[in-house]
Amino acid sequence: MTTSEEVLDLIFESLQDATARRTPFTLGYLGTVGIDGGPRVRAVILRRFDPVRSRIMFATDSRSEKVPEIRRSPRVALTMSDDQRAVQLRVEGHATLVDDTDERVSVWETLGRHSRGLYSSPAVPGTPVRERPEVFDDDATAFDRFAWVGVELERLDWLDLSAPRHARWRFVRRDGGWSGQSVVP
């Protein structure tokens, strides 16, 4: 009989693994509430996981639409799935934009040239492409556009379809601890 502690350990291991190397969980689908109130979902790379704070981190462009969406409605959802293992993890949490310059600098320094280059274009994501030679701003300007976002996890939903008897677990975080329960898939 599987216990909720075993499932929680598996979830945390899967998230740690996803940020240490490329796994199917590395690419998550982030759901936000759009400025018009409608749903928005897009892929983001999970870059760090802090098991103590139950916090997932991703990088984005501060000019992208998801940033004002998060500022306005910090409640977000993220879904990861692994087709090989036949598992899905859905999480809900509270997103915050990290202001701490030291933390942002330490992450910025780990980003590859390609990733940093994405922030150096003055062209704003989601705006029409203009037919003119592309110019690039300096590294300091690119860094200003780099947003480092944390999602503090509050609810987890783990679905495992790998065995004939499907399993689903729900976890809620209360007072810093997780309580989990097996639910009907």
Distance (Å, whole) CA 32 – CA 74: 8
- Contact criterion met (CB below 8 Å) for 104 and 146: yes
First vs last Cα of the chain: how many Å apart? 16
Site for ligand FMN contains 92 (CB under 6 A): no
Helix (H), strand (E) counts: the chain: 5, 9
Of the candidate spans 9-17, 63-71, 83-91, 99-107, the one that interacts with ligand FMN by CB under 6 A turns out to be 63-71
For the segment 124-183, give every residue that binds ligand FMN (CB under 6 A).
125-126
- The DSSP element (H or E) to which 40 belongs, if any, is strand 39-45
Site for ligand FMN contains 23 (CB under 6 A): no
- 3-class DSSP state for residue 103? helix
Q: How many chain residues interact with ligand FMN (CB under 6 A)?
A: 15
Q: Which of residues 4 and 73 has its CB atom nearest to ligand FMN in the complex? A: 73
Closest approach of ligand FMN to the CB of residue 179, in Å: 31
Specify burial of residue 93 (Cβ count, 10 A radius: 0-12, 13-18, 19+): buried
Among 25, 58, 148, 169, binds ligand FMN (CB under 6 A): 58
Q: Which of residues 46 and 156 has its CB atom nearest to ligand FMN in the complex? A: 46
Q: Which of residues 27 and 97 has its CB atom nearest to ligand FMN in the complex? A: 27
Residue 24 has which token pair? 């199917």
Site for ligand FMN contains 81 (CB under 6 A): no
Measured CA to CA in angstroms, residue 130 lies from 100, 120, 133 at distances of 34, 16, 9
Distance (Å, whole) CA 131 – CA 121: 14
Site for ligand FMN contains 66 (CB under 6 A): yes
Q: Which of residues 148 and 178 has its CB atom nearest to ligand FMN in the complex? A: 148
Tokens 């400025």 sit at which residue?
35
Of the candidate spans 4-12, 52-60, 80-88, 93-101, the one that interacts with ligand FMN by CB under 6 A turns out to be 52-60
Site for ligand FMN contains 27 (CB under 6 A): yes
Positions touching ligand FMN (CB under 6 A) are 27, 40, 42-45, 58-61, 64-66, 125-126
